[in-house]
Amino acid sequence: MGRRFDANRTPRGPGRKSRKQRGAETEIPHQLLATDENAAPRKSSRSRKRAVKRQIKTSTVQEPKKKIRAIGLSDGSASRLTPKPPAVEEEEEEEEEREEDDDDDEEEEEGEEDGGTRELAEALESSDEEEEEEDELLPIERAALKKKKKEMSEEGRMEVGAGDGEMEINAEETERFCLPSQREIEEEIARPPDPQALYRRVRATVSVLGDFSRLRERGRDRGEYLELLRGDLASYYTYSPFLIGCLMDLFPLAELIDFLEANEVQRPLTIRTNTLKTRRRDLAQALINRGVNLDPLGKWSKVGLVIYDSSVPIGATPEYLAGHYMLQGAASLLPVMALAPQENERVLDMSCAPGGKTSYCAQLMKNTGLIVANDVSVDRLRSVVGNLHRLGVTNTVVSNGDGRDFPKV
């Protein structure tokens, strides 16, 4: 509780604390600003303590020394109790001062060494800060950070390994490549194929054919190298020798290897949005809500989506059954984009199954004009009819016949 207010009470002046602090507002600033240019440098704490000890010794009156008799004590105790002469005391004080001065010098040297190790300390502090930041992260964020570091380290090791592999391949290519004999080829056919050996031989054969006049084996013609390359490519990529021969006639050898390697990559799953019933943005949001990981197909397509993974079957979602999209490869979109059908035009699709290009044409034509969808197989036409009904296409006529007979119709 506070003091009761008395209106008739007159103040008696400043209180006790105010009287103590009177004049501090003018004296303290003067003391802070006062500087003495000739003032002695600031002493260390040990120097001040030694000065105080000397002052006390000089100010105290020296009392007459009394001889202490050690009665009933051993010689060691008696020596400890007997006072020491002044000279011994002064020597001990000087030794203490020297030790303290040495300690001060060591502190100064340590300060200089600290300046040399400052960079190391800063590096350690930065690493500690990074560890503290990692501690502040959520568990899922720490796990993601560890995974990222692990992937980076694995990528570094893979790059080193790839560099070593390239060096080995280059070293092998620099050596003169010799064609295997007929007996060696028969032995290779008898035993299981070695993919790495086949790949190395394919690379060596392609390099020889690239500079045949300089790298060829003496007494060997170009046809022998091409025949060996055809067989190795058929064995390594599991193609028929006839198809490999056709591709060798179609592509240069360097481009042929790139083409075959590209065919080994798994094709991504793509879908085409049916703009007759929905928009790509709405379809993407609906599929994302169902646990589908997807991205737009590319800037060149306004209706394509790439599916990376899905927790539900893409061909059995409610959106698929409602006709909001069609499972269709990205390459099959290009012919329709090149044709670019316009509204109220007439289009003939002579091989329409399963109906992807036909429905895309109807989508671009906005269900106007006429589309004749023909296929020679009756069984395949069933899927065409089902897809056209599901996608809401109404401007298409489905026919079953030979496309060569259409000029007579």
Q: How high does pLDDT run on average in the chain?
A: 77
Is 355 annotated as a binding-site member?
Answer: yes
Give strand pairing partners of 349.
373
Is 354 annotated as a binding-site member?
Answer: yes
Residue 391 has pLDDT above 90, yes or no: yes
For the domain 266-332, what is the CATH code?
3.30.70.1170
* Lowest-pLDDT choice from 130-139, 148-157, 175-184, 331-340: 130-139
Domain boundaries, the chain: 182-264, 266-332, 340-408
More confident residue, 371 or 267: 371
* Lowest-pLDDT choice from 105-119, 188-202, 235-249, 301-315: 105-119
Q: Do domains 266-332 and 340-408 have the same CATH topology?
A: no
Sign of CA dihedral 271, 277, 280, 284: negative
Q: What is the pLDDT of residues 72-131, one digit of tens each?
A: 444 444 455 455 555 545 555 666 666 666 655 555 555 544 454 555 555 545 555 555
Give strand pairing partners of 319.
none
Residue 346 has pLDDT above 70, yes or no: yes
CA distance 120 to 126: 10
Taking Cα atoms as reference points, which of 362, 359, 379, 390 lies closest to residue 400? Answer: 379
CA distance 117 to 114: 5
pTM of the model: 0.48
Q: What is the pLDDT of residues 217-232, one digit of tens each?
A: 777 888 888 888 888 8
Identify the H or E element spanning 183: helix 182-190
Read off the pLDDT band of 136 (50, 70, 90).
low
Is 352 annotated as a binding-site member?
Answer: yes
Is 245 annotated as a binding-site member?
Answer: no
Taking Cα atoms as reference points, which of 277, 333, 331 lies closest to residue 302? Answer: 333
* Domain spanning 340-408, CATH class: alpha beta
CB 409 within 8 A of CB 383: no
Is 357 annotated as a binding-site member?
Answer: yes
Backbone angles phi, psi at 159, to 5 degrees: -65, -40
